[in-house]
Structure 1
Amino acid sequence: MVNHRQRQQASWKGSCWKPSLAACLLPLLAAMPAGNARADIQTGRTAARALSSTERPKGPVVITPTRRDPLPGVVVKSPTATGAGKRPAPQPRILPRTAPQSPGTYPWRLNITATVFWVGEDATERNPVANHKSSWDSAWKESFGGFDNPDPLHRTMDFRPKTFIPRQNPFYVALPYNDVCKGEHKPEASRVIPWFHREFSGKGQSVCKGRWVQIIYNKRSCFAQWEDCGPFTTEDWPYVFGDKPPVNTHNKGAGIDISPAVRDYLGIPGGTAIVHWRFVEFYRIPRGPWSKWGDNNPFVNRDLGPGKRALQTKEDRLRQQQEAIQRELMKDPAKLRRQLQG
């Protein structure tokens, strides 16, 4: 005989032991906050796929970039966000770097007209300034060792003049900028020259003289040192250090002068050619005919290694300061004793 308690348990098992899914979820859904339940529960790509076209927000999609630079060689400054109804933020500014694109190299200047010049060249209609002296050496011809005859018949197979051994590197170029004027650096020099602060050695001492460049003509590469300024101007820093074309319009818009040695090594048949060039740090330059001669050549003169001139100048200044302090102390022996005791 079934008692009352057993009948109650049987009734409970029959009605609620297997509830429907909807019946169990209703209390949970009622307890959730209002809004799109699927958007609240799902995240990431699953949520994006789950939203239908009518549920997706309208307007542009804003993607927050990572800290990695989106483009190598540029600095991107993003504008701040603006609220609804406010003036839109300006577009990002992209600033080109003046530092090397990769260690030891700098951007190429492409399709530049090159003209040939030489130490000891007399002034002509094509070349209104004689090259007996340079922008940085008033006795350039004497420093070089003589007249750098451009006639191929008067040159050796190793790209030097036949009549003498040059005292400076016969692989040289001129570029249309001088960083020094009247014994001082120009105002823009420290801002536009990438290596200025690293190579600065003193007031009025050029940081451009002797810098190395790489020149390419017809798939042949050559290296040379910057030893003069021109053609036709010494102010064109936007071209030399930037991305502007040369401002000069003479001689087919020439933007670089090359020596007879550079001409012959590259195989340039005449007095002008279209070349590509760029600055190169010394440690990236292979040995070649440009590494054989010259007191101004770091391959020959080890004391001209990268940065050594600046280091020597700083050491000289420090030594002079120490000597000045010692002289002042020797004037007052009592002060010197106090300094030593204290």
Structure 2
Amino acid sequence: MSTTFWVGEIFNANLSDGSQVCSTYDSKWALHHTGVQLGSSTDTGCGGSPVGGCDGPSSGATAATFTCTTEKRTAANGYFPTSQPKPLENPFYLDLPYDDINDATAFANRDTVVPWANVAPYSAHHGDSNYSYMKNHWVQLTGPNGKTCYGQVEDAGPSSGSLYHDAAYVFGSNDARPVNKQFSGDPSQGAGTDVSPALNGCLGFADLDGDNDHVNWRFVDRADVPAGPWLTVETTSQVSQ
């Protein structure tokens, strides 16, 4: 099960992980993704992070009045934003419930459970809490429309509470369901990933911001990512706290 999220969205300002103004890997995610800043706010779920960047329609001229919503994306312009300038980072992004930087369990076991942990460049960063093995890694997804699209991991989630170390689901070989039980219209499972508006459109989701769309996904190496709009802007930045 997959839901949709977007850079600049404030899902729940009362939660520490309720905002896409920041991500688990980048405290200035919205700013770095768009280059836009209206000011900083303390009521975004990540207080102090720059507000104003949005991967979708936005309104408000100040941090206090800023809002950010999503929009339909189509192949006509490569699923890129229609209401914002060309993004500075890849609009084809997603999250998975394994935070190898801020979750103590995930950080402790990432060298043994992340399949690429012992190959370059990751092998040079064992014990480095400022380097993520997950951020920017590529994922292949097949959506409700049967189309295969590609995106980069840029956040961690979804999660019921603070369990961002769901290694069995993220890396397991037996098709385990997510530990998370929330954010899903499917009574058999919770949501296992959030995808960006670009991926929402590319994969043919029924709703712009719904909870009933399913995907199949797997990790892929960068060398195996085919040409497509997901390579127009590639995110290469590492952890920024």
Q: 1:136 corresponds to which residue?
A: 25
- Give the total of aligned pairs: 185
2:214 alignment counterpart? 274
1:58-99 CA distance string (max 9 Å, x none): xxxxxxxxxxxxxxxxxxxxxxxxxxxxxxxxxxxxxxxxxx
User: Which of the pair has more CA radius of gyration?
Assistant: 1
Counterparts of 2:32 and 2:226 in 1: how far apart (Å)? 25
- Pick which of 282-291 and 196-205 moved more: 196-205
CA RMSD of aligned residues (A): 2.6
1:118 aligns with 2:6: yes
Q: Which amino acid is the alignment partner of residue 55 of structure 2?
A: D
Q: Does 1:200 align with 2:123?
A: yes
Contact persistence 1:177–1:237 (CA under 8 A)? yes
- Paired residue type of 1:212: W
How many percent identity over aligned positions?
35
Secondary structure in 2 aligned to 1:142? helix
Shift of 1:210: 0.4
Q: Deviations over 1:189-242 (max 9, x none)?
A: 111011001123431111111000000013210000000000124121111011
1:265 maps to which of 182, 194, 202: 202
Unpaired runs of 5+ residues, structure 1, are 1-112, 298-303, 305-342
> Higher relative contact order by CA 8 Å / sep ≥ 6: 1 or 2?
2
Residue in 2 that maps onto 1:147 = 54
Gaps of 5+ in 2: 35-52, 57-69, 185-189
C-alpha distance in structure 2 between counterparts of 1:220 and 1:176, whole Å: 24
- Distance (whole Å) between structure 1 residues aligned to residue 104 and residue 89 of structure 2: 24
State how 1:252-331 maps to structure 2 within 5 Å: 252=184, 253-270=190-207, 271-272=210-211, 273-296=213-236
Q: How far is the alpha carbon of 1:268 from its aligned partner?
A: 1.0
Change (3 A) 1:172 1:153: closer
Give 1:161 shift. Answer: 1.6
- CA deviations on 1:238-283 (whole Å, 9 max, x unpaired) are 1101132101110220001100000111111212301100001111
CA contact (8 A) 2:142 2:148 kept: yes
- Give the secondary structure class of the aligned counterpart of 1:186: helix
Aligned to 2:77: 157
**Aligned match of 1:240:** 170
Cα deviation 1:94-137 (Å, max 9, x = unaligned): xxxxxxxxxxxxxxxxxxx0000000001239x96111000110
The answer on whether the counterparts of 1:200 and 1:207 sit within 8 Å (CA) in structure 2 is no
Closer, same or farther: CA 139–183 of 1 in aligned 2, 3 Å: farther
Residue 284 of structure 1 and its aligned partner are, at CA, apart by 1.0
Aligned match of 2:42: none
Name the CA distance, whole Å, in 2 between partners of 1:152 and 1:118.
12
Output the CA distance in 1 between the equivalents of 2:54 and 2:124. Answer: 31
Structure 2: distance between partners of 1:229 and 1:215: 17
Q: CA deviation at 1:160?
A: 1.5
TM-score of the superposed pair, with normalisation by structure 2? 0.70
